[in-house]
Structure 1
Amino acid sequence: MSKARTSGTHYYRGAYADCVRAYDVAASLDFGDPGCVAATGESQRGGLSIAAAALEPRLAAHAPDSAFLCNFERPVQISTSGPYLEIEAYLRRWPEKEEQVFATLSYFDGMNLATLIKAPGFWSVGASDDVCPPSTTMAAFNHGGGEKEVRLYRFCYHEVPETHELAKMRRLADRLG
């Protein structure tokens, strides 16, 4: 893989910096406890929670659901709906840029970032997800550091059941004290 150079023009560079900055804001609140900040979200927010946990070691926990932004090459090959189709459409028009595209995306890939995670994680995956295929989130989970658990929901698409949301909130409450 060739090396790509990131610049200030990449949207996710700014988004990931905002995730780190969000910790500083949450930790600075008068009613906040800097040791009790977690990142969670579904889809793009799930991918951002992975980035936050990877790039902000002071986070106490993370809980991504059906995470977007993971293992980019795989969903471009198999997704039938959702945002990865935009990359496929771009590469249909400019196939000669494939190596450059994936080299650049590797800097923003949750699978690569997950290796930096130290905070405990409580992940979820919809086994029938056609937007963010389960193999993509699982790639990030498998590369991830820290204590972690994943729940696979066999009949879910790009969502999690309400019971998972409740379990996640209980898990985060226990972790954050």
Structure 2
Amino acid sequence: MPHFDLPLPKLQGYRPERDEPADYDAFWDRTLAEQRAHALAPVFEEIDAGYSQLVTEDVTFAGFDGQPVKAWLLRPRHVDGPLPTVVTYIGYGGGRGLPGEWTGLPSAGYAHFVMDLRGQGSGHRTGDTADGALTGPHHGGFMTLGIGTPDTYYYRRLFVDAVHAVEAAQAHPAVDASRTIISGGSQGGGITLAVAALVQRVNDTPPIGAIVDVPFLAHMRHATEIVDTAPYSELVSYLRTRRNDVDAVFRTLSYFDGVNFAARSTMPAMFSVGLLDDVCPPSCVFAAHNHYAGPASMKVYPYNGHEQGGAFQDVEHLRFIRGLVGG
């Protein structure tokens, strides 16, 4: 597939106006304040996952409205803690999967907390967390679930889960709360952008860095206008039949757009982009990066799509983490 978006020099300077509702901060302050009552102590249960050099724990913590959310916590068995820890969020349709999918970072000496996704996990990885608040008509997937209002929208629940996941990870005695990093790709990258902005509002020891690979949920209206791929196509299909709801839908989405979160995020961040990505278009990724309020770098893969750097980007992750935590 040829390059379909702006050329790289224009992408590097692409900083579109943000569509931000007047009560954006008030909405998220209210949401987070309401959810503090549900920040219950996480439960960690060690399991035998077959990896003798790693400790694997099945985690349950309280997410949105106190609903149980699952996670994995993996760490090296014979390394003295507390350990620098990476909290990871999953791509669209996936769940926490199996422990064996997450052995890389623990093998490098870090603890790795992998959050499950409510209602997802029937796609590329299995999941174990229900969504206890399904509401309203929607078109498949999750992009339009509860989209009638910001309060009922699916990603309000998921982003609260993700903020609580940081606190759940930091509650473990083997985790160094002062050296926590958040990460994710695609949908996970969009969640990471949200957490980078929101966790600073409620956590006295916020993460010290963010890894944001090919973020989904950024510059969303623009994405629907230049690509026809899923998951953004869910919005197009929904609005094809609900012709009078266009303005209301994009008003809801403006509370969840990664570009608006980026403008409020100050921790160091590393982004990546594939210039052939027709799932999360390069201009959407650069829009978030170029609005990012903190120090941010961008790793560009000119001839890759949504897979971006793959294992090559994993090497960049380790370099970024070491630069933040030392060692």
User: What is the Cα deviation at residue 166 of structure 1?
Assistant: 0.6
> 2-side partners of 1:176 and 1:96: how far apart?
50
Superposed CA deviations along residues 119-162 of structure 1, whole A, max 9, x for unmatched, are 00000001000011011111111111111101111011001222
Tell me which residue corresponds to 2:264. Answer: 116
User: What is the Cα deviation at residue 5 of structure 1?
Assistant: 4.9
1:129 is the counterpart of 2:277? yes
Superposed CA deviations along residues 97-137 of structure 1, whole A, max 9, x for unmatched, are 11111000000100111111010000000100001101111
* Equivalent position amino acid for 1:15 in 2: L
> 2-side partners of 1:96 and 1:176: how far apart?
50
* Equivalent position amino acid for 1:121 in 2: A
* Equivalent position amino acid for 1:173 in 2: R
User: What is the Cα deviation at residue 79 of structure 1?
Assistant: 1.1
Query: Where in structure 2 are the equivalents of 1:92-171 lying within 5 Å?
Result: 92-161=240-309, 162-171=311-320
> 2-side partners of 1:176 and 1:111: how far apart?
27
User: What is the Cα deviation at residue 80 of structure 1?
Assistant: 2.7
Tell me which residue corresponds to 1:29. Answer: 172
Would you say the 8 A contact 1:35–1:176 is kept in 2?
no
- TM-score normalized with structure 2 length: 0.52
> 1-side partners of 2:155 and 2:240: how far apart?
23
> How many residues get paired?
176
Tell me which residue corresponds to 2:106. Answer: none
* Equivalent position amino acid for 1:109 in 2: D
Alignment equivalent of 2:160, drawn from 6, 17, 22: 17
What secondary structure is seen at the aligned counterpart in 1 of 2:179? Answer: coil
**Where does structure 1 lack aligned partners over 5 or more consecutive residues?**
none
User: What is the Cα deviation at residue 59 of structure 1?
Assistant: 1.2
> 1-side partners of 2:270 and 2:157: how far apart?
25
Of all paired residues, the percent bearing the same amino acid is: 34
User: What is the Cα deviation at residue 6 of structure 1?
Assistant: 2.1
* Equivalent position amino acid for 1:31 in 2: A
Deviating beyond 3 angstroms after TM superposition, the runs of 4 or more aligned structure 1 residues are 1-5
Tell me which residue corresponds to 2:10. Answer: none
By relative contact order (CA 8 Å, sep 6+), the higher-ranking structure is 1
Would you say the 8 A contact 2:150–2:253 is kept in 1?
no
